[in-house]
């Protein structure tokens, strides 16, 4: 009889806790359990159905807010590319191949482990705006004095709406929504995808923007461009001009959202370790808005209210 004690693993930005015991991962989610357990498994079922490696369900006790899933081990692509810069492009080529497979998924409905039907939601323009507004709701109050907050928020809302209306592609592609190297595991030399509970049908450029402009991993402008070109090479029929337009807008919106989320994690959940990533999120926004006509208004207002000193200072 094995009486080994479950080992608590390092968590993520969600309300979940992960425990390992006998090569099984137990996921516990006291808050948002529908999303973090039921929907997470539903999306994993869709991925597995479409021949993408995702954690299989082993058992569940939904009443007590937990489930057991397949253990992919400890090795993430993030760890591999951080250790071996020479093989970085090789890994990213494999990731692009996986992304292409992900984007071919047409399954919109799946049975959950409770027998109900889960329908993958659409990533509407309204949701995109609400996510970008996290920057306004959490980061601005922390950094800007009361008088200027109202002016800044009103102007930013109009600019963000205008940018979202410039998006060309419709929401018809399967989008993981958090597609980056920390959410890609390696088991038996194969890429495995985790943290998929927020998946939607959305813009074809979103996951590539998430991968290339990843706030957790610093890469050169040249490397980012190489990955972008690698993706385009595998999608030759695509309207490149429209795709590049959407890619840039979605990258900026995503990183504004990330700044808002990381600030909220600190203020609301006492998770301060994400604050150190905010300066690089700012840098990614700067890189995409610099010398880019469609971002003139956004860049002007951000430069006016957020000095370089403010962007670097992220302590409580």
Residue 99 in any domain: the answer is yes
> What is the C-alpha separation between 61 and 34, in angstroms, rounded?
12
Residue 69 in any domain: the answer is no
Note down the domain range covering 126: 74-108+120-312
pTM over 0.75: yes
Structural domains counted in the chain: 1
Residue 264 in any domain: the answer is yes
Residue 201 in any domain: the answer is yes
Residue 58 in any domain: the answer is no
Residue 166 in any domain: the answer is yes
Residue 47 in any domain: the answer is no
Q: Digits of tens for pLDDT over the chain (316 positions)?
A: 344 667 787 666 677 899 999 889 999 999 889 999 999 999 999 999 999 999 999 999 999 999 999 999 999 999 999 887 788 999 999 999 999 999 999 999 999 999 999 999 999 999 999 999 999 999 999 999 888 899 999 999 999 999 999 999 999 999 999 999 999 999 999 999 999 999 999 999 999 999 999 999 999 999 999 999 999 999 989 999 999 999 999 999 999 999 999 999 999 989 899 999 999 999 999 999 999 999 999 999 999 999 988 898 765 5
State the pLDDT at residue 148.
87
**3-state class (DSSP) for residue 80:** helix
Could you tell me if 234 and 204 are in contact, meaning their C-beta atoms sit under 8 angstroms apart?
no
Could you tell me if 183 and 217 are in contact, meaning their C-beta atoms sit under 8 angstroms apart?
no
Note the residue count of the chain. 316
State the pLDDT at residue 13.
60
> What is the C-alpha separation between 124 and 139, in angstroms, rounded?
23
Residue 307 in any domain: the answer is yes
DSSP string, 251-303: HHHHHHHHHHHHHHHHHHH--GGGGGGHHHHHHHHHHHHTT-GGGHHHHHHHH
CATH at 89: 3.90.1200.10
CB count, 10 Å around CB of 262?
A: 25
């Amino acid at each position: 009889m094995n009486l080994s004690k479950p080992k608590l693993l390092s968590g993520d930005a969600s309300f979940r806790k992960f425990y390992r015991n006998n090569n099984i991962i137990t996921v516990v989610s006291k808050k948002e359990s529908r999303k973090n357990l039921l929907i997470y498994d539903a999306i994993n079922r869709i991925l597995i159905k479409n021949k993408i490696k995702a954690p299989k369900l082993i058992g569940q006790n939904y009443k007590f807010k937990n489930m057991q899933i397949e253990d992919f081990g400890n090795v993430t692509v993030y760890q591999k590319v951080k250790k071996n810069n020479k093989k970085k492009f090789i890994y990213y080529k494999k990731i692009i191949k996986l992304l292409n497979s992900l984007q071919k998924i047409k399954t919109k409905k799946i049975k959950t482990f409770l027998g109900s039907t889960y329908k993958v939601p659409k990533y509407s323009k309204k949701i995109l705006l609400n996510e970008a507004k996290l920057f306004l709701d959490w980061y601005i109050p922390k950094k800007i004095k009361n008088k200027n907050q109202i002016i800044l928020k009103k102007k930013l809302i109009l600019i963000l709406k205008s940018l979202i209306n410039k998006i060309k592609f419709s929401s018809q592609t399967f989008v993981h929504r958090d597609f980056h190297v920390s959410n890609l595991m390696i088991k038996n030399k194969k890429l495995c995808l985790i943290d998929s509970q927020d998946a939607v049908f959305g813009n074809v450029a979103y996951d590539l923007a998430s991968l290339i402009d990843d706030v957790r991993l610093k890469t050169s402008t040249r490397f980012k461009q190489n990955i972008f070109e690698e993706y385009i090479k595998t999608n030759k029929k695509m309207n490149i001009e429209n795709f590049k337009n959407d890619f840039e807008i979605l990258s900026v919106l995503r990183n504004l959202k990330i700044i808002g989320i990381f600030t909220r994690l600190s203020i609301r959940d006492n998770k301060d370790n994400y604050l150190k990533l905010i300066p690089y999120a700012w840098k990614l926004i700067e890189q995409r808005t610099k010398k880019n006509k469609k971002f003139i208004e956004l860049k002007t207002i951000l430069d006016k209210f957020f000095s370089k000193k403010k962007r670097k200072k992220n302590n409580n």
